[in-house]
Amino acid sequence: MSRVALKIYLRYPAWIIADIITAPAWLVLLIFPVLMFLPKSQWSNPLVLNSFLWAMILWDIVSYGLWSFGMAIRREQQMGTLEFIYLTNANRVLIFARNIFARIISLTLTIAYTYVFFKLLFNIQVIIFDPLPVLLVLLLGLFTSMGFGLLYGALVLRFKDAGPLNNILQFIILGISGVFYPVSSLPESLRVVSMILPFTYISEILRYHALGMPTLIPVKCEWIILVLSTLLLNMAGFILLNLIEKNSKKTGELAKY
């Protein structure tokens, strides 16, 4: 299944080109307006620029949960292959989670082009204090995103088109999870909500190991919470997907576009 997912991804050069183009496009759209509100002395601050760099990479991980994993079921539905897939005895989660391999390639491209973009524009040196934990949290983040996507995908299967909701949820999660700024800067009421989201711990752990920034709670506790929440998300996604599939078969809504 991983080979199939890679073949599908590589079959369409436009997808790869889009991944290459959208990263710098979003960087320009987001970073330059933010820089306008910062003192000019901060424009060359390595910590500020590195924070933006890692934030853009984190944005990709959050987006995968909604647009890649979460919408995988919807794409199968639109292509008319969903009913045939459900006639097989293949594991449903593996069918829709196969995008993880294409997303690893996409994330690698994002990291590479984001680095080139920052290097050319700001001539920064990327700060990575602990490379191995950084790599681990990025990979674990993809599986966290997959678990979130399975839950969201199950709801897409039930309620069909969720395109507008994707955009709304994406920016809410980005704001509350402290992707572009530390969670400690949020108001107390939002901070409580933030600590419920697993993406918050990805952001916190990544900044800790890459930039040496402090975490709200001990980093070992954040690792434990992230691992457990990733497992729970994937288990819950699997259960909900099966329940909605059974219900859709009974009501005849599985093939409903």
Is 151 a domain residue?
A: yes
- Output the DSSP codes for the chain: -HHHHHHHHHH-HHHHHHHHHHHHHHHHHHHHHHHHTS-GGGTT-HHHHHHHHHHHHHHHHHHIIIIIITTHHHHHHHHT-HHHHHTS-S-HHHHHHTHHHHHHHHHHHHHHHHHHHHHHHH-PPPP-S-HHHHHHHHHHHHHHHHHHHHHHHHHHHHH---HHHHHHHHHHHHHHTTSSS-GGGS-HHHHHHHTTSHHHHHHHHHHHHHH----SS-HHHHHHHHHHHHHHHHHHHHHHHHHHHHHHHHHT-TT--
- What's the pLDDT score for residue 16? 66
Structure tokens at 79: 């292509």
256 within some domain: no
Its pTM surpasses 0.85? no
The radius of gyration of the chain's CA atoms, rounded to the nearest angstrom, is: 19
How many separate domains does the chain show? 1
- pLDDT tens for each residue of 179-200: 888 888 888 888 888 999 999 9
Q: Which pLDDT score is estimated for 220? A: 95
pLDDT in the model for residue 222 = 95
Decide if 140 is inside a domain.
Answer: yes
- C-alpha distance from residue 180 to each of 31, 143, 160, 165, 215 (Å): 10, 21, 31, 21, 15
Which segments in the chain show pLDDT lower than 70?
1-12, 14-16, 18-20, 22-24, 26-28, 32-35, 37, 42-43, 69-71, 74-75, 77-80, 82-98, 159-164, 252-257
At residue 7, the pLDDT reads 65
Q: Would residue 218 count as lying in a domain?
A: yes
- Residue 147: its pLDDT value, please? 86
Please tell me the predicted confidence (pLDDT) of residue 70.
65
Alpha-carbon torsion (62, 142, 178, 55), positive or negative? negative
Give, in order, the Cα–Cα distances in Å from 25 to each of 12, 53, 124, 243, 246.
Answer: 20, 14, 19, 40, 42
CA-closest candidate to residue 76, choices 251, 257, 238: 257
Domain that holds residue 129: 2-251
Torsion angles phi and psi, residue 50, rounded to 5 = -65, -35
Residue 58 lies in a domain: yes
- Terminal alpha carbon distance of the chain: 25
Query: Assign residue 91 a region: left if phi > 0, alpha if psi is -120 to 50, beta otherwise?
Result: beta
Q: What is the pLDDT of residue 207?
A: 93
User: What is the structure's pLDDT at 51?
Assistant: 87
Domain assignment of residue 36, yes or no: yes
- 206 within some domain: yes
User: For residue 183, how far is the Cα from the chain centroid?
Assistant: 18
* Residue 237 forms part of a structural domain: yes
The pLDDT value recorded for residue 171 is 81
